[in-house]
């Protein structure tokens, strides 16, 4: 039985989080802070989160997390997703959160002590370095970066970009081809590279729609272009075994996609709230916008799509908990292309209802619009996820020369099955 029941104690946590984010975090969005000011303002907030037992909610209790179920995590992330800044305040910012899960799943005890513990404590930052400018991000086995063995060291060479937080991270988790003779999905490894290692060249922070100037703003993401040139690190820096890179990446992405989708739904809900507030406030042609049929249609449709996507995502979280990531691959892919569309539509409609105000920088919507365009690309393009879903669904079906629902064929079968009754009916006449 599917059950999304939340214990009263956790419902109180959700209510506290909602109030806390709106009261303490949202005001920070309006300020242009230095790193020192950011730390001074957010360190006390992080202490409050820790006192509530909500720090790093994606982690098990033994690593300092709350040990929450995936459904509970999703509901919490929905609130945290209201603001990008809330992620760091709650210790679940990407890519650190996903990297922590990867280290938890594959790292040795020595590696966990060296990198995972300080990462969870907020003493170091991490980056995930996989995407390359010269290869298709949707086709991971085409990655060109290599690491060859030389004694007890890896010698790493490659050109990466969109390495989130790469310009200020302390460690880089790099995906590179290490096993030349292995099957494609067993040829890649994850290697931890210190950011200050010789040969690690930070080329630039990449400009983008959500960050047109390529700046590093406290509390926000940046994306770096990096060239690795004959970088030497010990073989012992391999996370898991050589060739397990893709397996570790998938373990990282399953729950992370649920987290990200719930955060996007939090943003969609925020845009929806702005749209509804504007609809009951702004008057045109003698009545409020909310009394116009087209605006009412947008409000009805966007609200329904948010609720439908939310239920699909929570169902996916429940299924992952019950059956695991492998048995939930179809749903995990579904939410990855359903939720971005919902987010984009919610923000787009909210801008339209606000008119020129929504288009301006006086509302959060213009940034949300630019940032939402990334959703159908990040963590695998929507087209690949649709292809994955279609392939998995079609495996459940067998080909039929004559369609199984073909009425003339079914009629003949039904006449044969019920021949006695039909014959008796005829004889009664």
Question: DSSP assignment of 170-233, as one string?
Answer: SEEEEEEE--TTS-GGGSEEEEEEETTSTTEEEEEEPP-SS-TT----TTS--EEEEEEEEEEE
Rounded Cα distance between 275 and 296, Å, is: 11
pLDDT for 195: 97
**Per-residue confidence in pLDDT tens, the chain, 429 aa:** 788 888 999 999 999 999 999 999 999 999 999 999 999 999 999 999 999 999 989 888 877 788 899 999 999 999 999 999 999 999 988 888 889 889 988 999 999 999 999 998 888 999 999 999 999 888 888 999 999 999 999 999 999 999 998 999 999 999 999 998 889 889 999 999 999 999 999 999 999 998 888 777 777 778 999 999 999 999 999 999 999 998 887 766 778 899 999 999 999 999 999 999 999 999 999 999 999 999 999 999 999 999 999 999 999 999 999 999 889 999 999 999 999 999 999 999 999 999 999 999 999 999 999 999 999 998 889 999 999 999 999 999 999 999 999 999 999 999 999 998 998 765 554
pLDDT for 428: 57
Please state which of the four CATH numbers 3.30.450.40, 1.10.540.10, 3.20.20.70, 1.20.120.80 is assigned to the domain occupying 8-119.
Answer: 1.10.540.10
Q: Helix, strand, or coil here: 12?
A: helix
pTM: 0.92
Beta bridge partners of 129: 174
Fold that domain 251-394 belongs to in CATH: Butyryl-CoA Dehydrogenase, subunit A; domain 3 (1.20.140)
Rounded Cα distance between 262 and 274, Å, is: 19
Instruction: Write the burial class of residue 196 (CB in 10 Å: 0-12 exposed, 13-18 middle, 19+ buried).
Output: exposed
Rounded Cα distance between 202 and 195, Å, is: 9
| Chain segment 118-155, per-residue pLDDT in tens | 998 888 999 999 999 999 888 888 999 999 999 999 99
Fold that domain 126-239 belongs to in CATH: Butyryl-CoA Dehydrogenase, subunit A; domain 2 (2.40.110)
The number of CA neighbours under 13 Å toward the Cβ of 216 is 11
CA–CA distances in Å: residue 213 to residues 210, 248, 375: 9, 33, 20
pLDDT for 138: 81
Query: What are the sequence ranges of the domains in the chain?
Result: 8-119, 126-239, 251-394
């Amino acid at each position: 039985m599917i059950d999304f029941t939340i214990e009263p104690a956790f419902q109180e946590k959700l209510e506290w989080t909602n109030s806390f984010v709106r009261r303490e975090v949202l005001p920070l969005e309006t300020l242009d802070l230095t790193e020192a000011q950011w730390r001074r303002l957010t360190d006390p907030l992080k202490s409050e989160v820790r006192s509530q037992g909500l720090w790093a909610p994606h982690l098990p209790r033994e690593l300092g997390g709350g040990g929450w179920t995936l459904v509970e995590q999703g509901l919490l992330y929905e609130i945290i997703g209201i603001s990008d800044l809330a992620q760091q305040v709650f210790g679940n910012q990407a890519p650190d959160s996903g990297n922590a899960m990867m280290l938890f799943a594959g790292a040795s005890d020595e590696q966990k002590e060296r990198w995972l513990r300080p990462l969870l404590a907020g003493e170091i930052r991490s980056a995930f370095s996989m995407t390359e400018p010269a290869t298709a991000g949707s086709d991971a086995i085409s990655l060109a970066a290599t690491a060859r063995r030389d004694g007890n060291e890896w010698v790493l060479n490659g050109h990466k970009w969109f390495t989130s937080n790469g310009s200020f991270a302390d460690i880089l988790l790099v995906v590179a081809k290490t096993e030349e003779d292995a099957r494609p999905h067993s040829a890649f490894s994850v290697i931890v590279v210190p950011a200050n290692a010789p040969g690690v060249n930070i080329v630039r922070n990449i400009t983008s729609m959500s960050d047109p100037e390529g700046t590093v703003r406290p509390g926000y993401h940046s994306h770096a272009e990096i060239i690795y040139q004959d970088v030497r690190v010990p073989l012992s820096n391999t996370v898991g075994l050589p060739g397990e890179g893709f397996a570790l990446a998938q373990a990282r992405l399953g729950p992370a996609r649920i987290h990200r989708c719930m955060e996007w739904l939090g943003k969609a809900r925020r845009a929806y709230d702005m749209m509804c507030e504007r609809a009951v406030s702004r008057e045109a042609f003698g009545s409020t916008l909310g009394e116009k049929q087209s605006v009412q249609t947008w409000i009805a449709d966007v609200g329904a799509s948010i609720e439908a996507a939310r239920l699909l995502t929570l169902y996916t979280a429940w299924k992952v908990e019950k059956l695991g990531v492998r048995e939930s691959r179809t749903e995990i892919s579904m939410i990855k292309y359903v939720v971005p569309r919902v987010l984009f539509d919610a923000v787009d409609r909210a801008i339209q209802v606000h008119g020129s105000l929504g288009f301006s920088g006086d509302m959060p919507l213009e940034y949300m619009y630019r940032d939402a365009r990334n959703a159908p690309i990040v963590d695998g393009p929507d087209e690949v996820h649709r292809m994955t879903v279609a392939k998995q669904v079609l495996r459940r079906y067998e080909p039929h020369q004559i369609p199984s629902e073909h009425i003339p064929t079914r009629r003949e079968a039904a006449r044969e099955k019920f021949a006695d009754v039909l014959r008796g009916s005829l004889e009664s006449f």
